[in-house]
Amino acid sequence: MPPMLPDFSNSVKLKYVKLGYQYLVNHIITLTLVPIMLGVSIEILRLGPQEILNLWNSLHFNLVQILCSAFLIIFVATVYFMSKPRTIYLVDYACFKPPVTCRVPFATFMEHSRLILKNNPKSVEFQMRILERSGLGEETCLPPAIHYIPPKPTMEAARGEAELVIFSAMDSLFKKTGLKPKDIDILIVNCSLFSPTPSLSAMVINKYKLRSNIKSFNLSGMGCSAGLISIDLARDLLQVHPNSNAVVVSTEIITPNYYQGNERAMLLPNCLFRMGGAAILLSNRRSERRRAKYRLVHVVRTHKGADDKAYRCVFEEEDKEGKVGISLSKDLMAIAGEALKSNITTMGPLVLPASEQLLFLLTLIGRKIFNPKWKPYIPDFKQAFEHFCIHAGGRAVIDELQKNLQLSTEHVEASRMTLHRFGNTSSSSLWYELNYIESKGRMKKGDRVWQIAFGSGFKCNSAVWKCNKTIKTPIDGPWTDCIDRYPVHIPEIVKL
């Protein structure tokens, strides 16, 4: 755990010193320009208009020089505008709202566990303890195939779940944006654990009769951070293809991956993963500038796969009885912390204000040159972002990040409440969290959002968005009927 600065920041005086320092450093250019401008204008006034005219005539310009300068300026301007990356707009997105009949209360989950694992009461006990501390609520949903006793995870059922989730989200997206299926130029679908042939993107193309020259991609096996990988891919494609629309579908299909064995490390995902999905419309068209909700500012991807421990951290394998499940290692949190550190090291210079970067640089130099015992300075990311969407991987993940980044309860509220209401919906959880913030009416124009996702590999990916227009409540989405009940207090342990 990274150590914190000595805590004399309670002192009010120091707070004002800090504010003053930040204002000084962040606006240094303005502050240096203002006296220069003042000096120049005073000089001009002193000289008087006649003097200025004489000064102007003394400069001998001939036509060639003027033309060359003009061309140079135009050339530089053109090169600048041409090489500027296209702005990627997030026009809108839609999250899948699971049907109420798929709801799984704790008691039902435990009962089914007990009936299926009747020869292993210890495994059932373990699942109960996980569920009690998980931070999930009583309204999370599992797909219909898992409701059977015993569960029936057939391929047909998995396809059924995929159709339900993806088509629902896409219909919702079409309705919200007025997008016509024929206008989709790029389609990216990411689903880590279910990868049939033909792919899920082919399934979407078939259902909505998309164009034959569509650029479609299907990402599988990339874990919970695949949503941001898809966004990154869409961004790169939208740089190459002008005037295009890209639809990204992020989901996780639970049906085929319900572990039916007894290994404890593999039972954990059963307790946390729930049904969910999201469809996002990205565009580089200038006409979308007005109505787009967000602009994509940065995407930073960090992969720790080179390290063996990180690679085996989340591993799909067969247990002793030959049943396939996803094994989570005990060092998961430590590795996540490392990956996060790596990510924010790259992210920091891109987003932090000059004041924070200067402080970080000074403490770094100090530690290297003067005294290695100086505590490293953790930049205050709260100054770079108004909202945080931390992947709702589990309560431990959110707690860890809250501690590491020194975030307040309100900053992590979106993540905690999404975990409570929808469970861990894998790559789409970031979108539910963003929707929570919007539903609460907290999203104003100019607000910056940081989405952080962790995934198998081990990866840590971040995306930074800037809000393009204030979003007015009430909005249509998965939180519509329950936003008034949130935030709820989630007890440490729910007694089952």
Partner 1 sequence: MELSLPRVLFLKCVTFCYICKRTVVSTKPIEPGKYMTFSVLDRCMEKNHIRMVYYYQSSLGEGEFGKMTKNLRETLSEMLNYYPMVTGRLVRDSEEKWKVKCNDAGVRVVEAKAKGSVEEWLKNVDSEKEHMLVYWEDMYHKPYYWSTFYVQITEFEEGGLAIGLSCFHLLADYTSATNFLKAWSDISLGNKITVLPLFHPLPSTRKRISNHHPYFELINHYKSSIERPIPIKEEKYTIISLGFSHQMVNACISKAQFNGPSGPITMTPFEALAGLFWASISNIKGLQNGLIDMSICLDARKLLGLDYGFFGNTMIYNKVHANGNLEGNIFVQATRYIREVVAKMDNEGIMDLIEWLEKNEMNSPRMINGPDLICVSLENVEPYLSVFEDWLKPLRVSCYIEPVLGEGQVLILPGTPEEGPLSRVVMVTLKEDEAIKLFEDDLISQFSPTIFMKC
Catalytic residues, which ones? 224, 303, 387, 391, 420, 424
Q: Give whichever of 112 and 304 is closer to partner 1, judged by the CB atom.
A: 112
> DSSP character for 146?
G
Give SS3 for 239.
Answer: helix
Tokens read off for 388: 């945080």
Cα–Cα distance for residue pair 143/267, rounded to 1 Å: 17
Beta-bridge partner residues of 343: none
Q: How far is the CB of 169 from partner 1 (least distance, A)?
A: 21
Q: How far is the CB of 253 from partner 1 (least distance, A)?
A: 19
Distances (CA, A) of 282 to 84, 96, 294: 18, 18, 9
Q: Give whichever of 214 and 494 is closer to partner 1, judged by the CB atom.
A: 494
Q: Which residues of 363-379 are buried (b: 16+ CB within 10 A; e: fewer)?
A: beeeeeeeeeeeeebbb
Q: Give whichever of 103 and 367 is closer to partner 1, judged by the CB atom.
A: 103
One-letter identity of residue 249: V
Cα–Cα distance for residue pair 470/479, rounded to 1 Å: 18
Q: How far is the CB of 262 from partner 1 (least distance, A)?
A: 16
Q: Give contact residues for partner 1 (rule: CB under 8 A).
A: 100-101, 103-108, 111-112, 114-116, 118, 137-139, 147-150, 152, 494-496
When computed from its CA atoms, the radius of gyration of the chain, rounded to whole angstroms, is: 27
Say if residues 261 and 325 touch (Cβ distance below 8 Å): yes
Q: What is the dihedral of CA 48, 49, 53, 54, to 10 degrees?
A: -30
Q: How far is the CB of 106 from partner 1 (least distance, A)?
A: 8
Q: Give whichever of 150 and 242 is closer to partner 1, judged by the CB atom.
A: 150
Say if residues 249 and 279 touch (Cβ distance below 8 Å): yes
**Phi, psi values for residue 442, rounded to 5°:** -95, -5
Q: How far is the CB of 108 from partner 1 (least distance, A)?
A: 5
Q: Give whichever of 104 and 210 is closer to partner 1, judged by the CB atom.
A: 104
Tokens read off for 489: 């207090």
Q: Give whichever of 118 and 209 is closer to partner 1, judged by the CB atom.
A: 118
> DSSP character for 370?
I
Tokens read off for 34: 């203002």
Q: How far is the CB of 104 from partner 1 (least distance, A)?
A: 7
**Phi, psi values for residue 93, rounded to 5°:** -145, 160
Say if residues 391 and 462 touch (Cβ distance below 8 Å): no
Pairing assessment for the beta strands 324-328 and 276-283 based on DSSP bridges? unpaired
Q: How far is the CB of 143 from partner 1 (least distance, A)?
A: 12
Q: Give whichever of 147 and 341 is closer to partner 1, judged by the CB atom.
A: 147
Give SS3 for 168.
Answer: helix
One-letter identity of residue 477: G
- For residue 351, give the nearest of 452, 271, 431 by alpha carbon: 452
Q: Give whichever of 423 and 457 is closer to partner 1, judged by the CB atom.
A: 423
Pairing assessment for the beta strands 459-467 and 294-303 based on DSSP bridges? antiparallel
Tokens read off for 150: 């015993």
Q: Give whichever of 308 and 321 is closer to partner 1, judged by the CB atom.
A: 321
One-letter identity of residue 183: D
Cα–Cα distance for residue pair 30/227, rounded to 1 Å: 39
Q: How far is the CB of 107 from partner 1 (least distance, A)?
A: 4
Q: How far is the CB of 432 from partner 1 (least distance, A)?
A: 18
